[in-house]
A and B are shown apart, each in its own frame.
Chain A
Amino acid sequence: MNNTPTLLNSGPLPHESCASPIIVTQRLTKSFGDLVALDELSLEIATGELFGLLGPNGAGKTTLISILATILPATLGKASVCGYDVWHDQAAVRRSIGIVFQDPSLDDELTGQENLDFHGRLYGLDARTRAVRIDEVLNLVDLQDRRRDLVKTYSGGMRRRLEIARGLMHRPKVLFLDEPTLGLDPQTRRKIWNYIRGLKESYGTTIILTTHYMDEADQLCSRVAIIDHGKIVAMESPANLKASLGGDLVELETSEIHPEFGETMRNSDQVTHVSAQDGHVVLTVTNGESFIPRVFETAQSLGMEISSVSVRKPNLEDVFIKLTGREIREETVAEPKERIRLYMWRRRK
């Protein structure tokens, strides 16, 4: 599969173009007290990429985005956006980026249109440009008919769409989307995915999104960095990441696993990985479908009973499990965030 970032030049590009790579971090480190949120993280993102930061909550995704967006100082290391240092050229970086935060950041007491207008004014757009852009971005996210309603009457999905629209008002070269579909229903998520793809196609905006939804990264991103404990554990296209597992996953349930079964499977040249636990066996196999008869033959000869079997293509979740030995779980959310909050609070006292 194609792993090189695509450079798009269709549509009106932001006024001045940036040199590629558009984002560079060098050994970027951020610690909150004794909690290391980012651990010497280095990456490069090319202009026009739709880049995904994938990892469990608390992995450091939001911290990375906050540093790149100049709202959090790094402890050590360097980062630049469009060639501007994120700490020393804050104003230049801020003009180049748009950001959609994980938590809502709209003014409820203003209308959708007024929120956009406010944003346009803050970014120094003149009245005519604001009017044109407001129309344009509202069309993009299908909110034209609700533009004069107060934001407090909007649903969660509509708010998120409005925030994405707002992030585009000033035509940023880089757009950060922090968990853009968190907590939204599947239909709305799919819609937002379409808008995100649309952005890349119409403006060639470089998009960096964080997510802990595997399917989201898989569906949208041209390249994904899997982050765990503040470190990048893999950085590839989703297809390559999945291919790195070395085949399809054959999962079978059995009452008990014969000791020789695993051995025999492992010795087969089609099998690249075997894991077994409590009667649940996962085989990583090239050409999974054609391997199933062999599984049954072996089981039968050993007197093992197989109650169910399935073959599926690996997904990013499997990649994550293989790389980190854990599943991406939502339970890990509160702890690091709470610690960061506490740390900030203590430090200010």
Chain B
Amino acid sequence: MNAWPAIYTLWLREVKRFIRNRSRLIGSMALPVLFLVVLGSGFGGFFRYRNDVSYIEFIGPGIIGMTLLFSSMFGGMNVLWDKQFGFLKEILVAPVGRMAIMTGKTAGTVTTSMVRALVLLVAMLAGGVVKFHVAGLLLTLVFMCLISAAFVSLGIALASWMTDIHGFQLIMNFVIMPVFFLSGALFPLENLPWWLNILTLINPLTYGVDGIRFALGGPYRFHPLLDLAILSGFWFITTLVGAFMFRRMYA
């Protein structure tokens, strides 16, 4: 059977649920806006990254990374809710390949995460937090898509591995939050103790945030090609792991 209709169907479901649920949309936008505005102006008063880079300009790309991380991971882990509420059975018993299901689910969640992050990006461009130029914006989109797709796959992999929703809090505290805090989204990573530095260097989001910073004309650390390579590698691995885990999942 042709896989495209099934991929489209699962994509459509994610998008429909996204559009329908206004409160969830507002809820998921509130945290990044809070971080950007409150932290940005709170710390902005006595902290500058460099003379030419204010704190809010520094964390802008980080907040985009954060939005993508949270909504993509939550979206991928939604599989767990589908499992809990039984809908996953309906999907798994259909004459549709597992890979088509995973692809559709990923595409849908990447779409909805991108919409959230793009709303923020547009607001930041309008507010002058990040700098506008066409090539940079395109590169930003590439980085954003990669971050989102990689973390959706990771979310699906974790959700396939877990049996019920009780492990969710664990993932939140031991995966999502550390990945966020150690990504350089909120503070520069140059002066960390060596052991924390190692953690930041193995954190894939570090390279995502760094890549977006470069693309938006901010203060970057690594060569953008290195960012791109590491992030692509991470995406490739999470997709493989996610596919493997999802394949052997029983509803």
Contact surface of A with B, Cβ cutoff 8 Å:
69-72, 91, 94-95, 99, 101, 103-110, 114, 118-119, 121-124, 166, 341, 344-345, 348
With a CB–CB cut-off of 8 A, which chain A residues contact B91?
Answer: 122
- Residues of B125-148 whose CB lies within 8 A of A: none
Number of contacts between A and B (CB, 8 Å)? 72
Q: Considering the complex, give the chain A residue whose CB is closest to the CB of B13.
A: A118
Q: Mark B29-61, 1 if CB is under 8 A from A, else 0.
A: 000000000000000000000000000000000
Near A by CB (< 8 A), chain B positions 54-79 give: none
B20 partner, pick from A106, A109, A124, beta carbons under 8 A: A109
Told that A69-B93, A106-B90, A121-B5 touch, could you supply 7 new A-B pairs with CB distance under 8 A?
A95-B95, A105-B86, A105-B88, A107-B87, A114-B16, A119-B90, A124-B2
The majority secondary structure among interface residues of chain B is helix
Assess the A122–B163 pair: CB atoms within 8 A.
no
A110 near B94: Cβ-Cβ < 8 Å? no
Asked whether any CB of chain A lies closer than 8 Å to the CB of B17, the reply is yes
Q: B124 on the interface (CB 8 Å rule)?
A: no
* Cβ-defined contact, B17 with A122, below 8 A: no
The answer to whether A103 touches B86, judged by C-beta atoms less than 8 angstroms apart, is yes
Evaluate contact between B9 and A121: CB separation under 8 angstroms: yes
Is there contact, CB below 8 Å, between B87 and A122? no
A348 to B5 Cα, complex, angstroms: 32
CA distance A119 to B20 in the complex (A): 19
Q: Would you give the 0/1 interface string for B210-248, flagging 1 where the beta carbon is closer than 8 Å to chain A?
A: 000000000000000000000000000000000000000
Contact status of A105 and B1, CB under 8 A, knowing A110-B17, A122-B6, A123-B95? no
Residues on the A chain within 8 Å of B92, using CB = 71
Known: A72-B250, A95-B95, A348-B163. A124 touches B89 (CB 8 A): no
B13 touches A110 (CB 8 A): yes
Q: Known: A71-B251, A122-B6. Is A99-B93 also a contact (CB below 8 A)?
A: yes
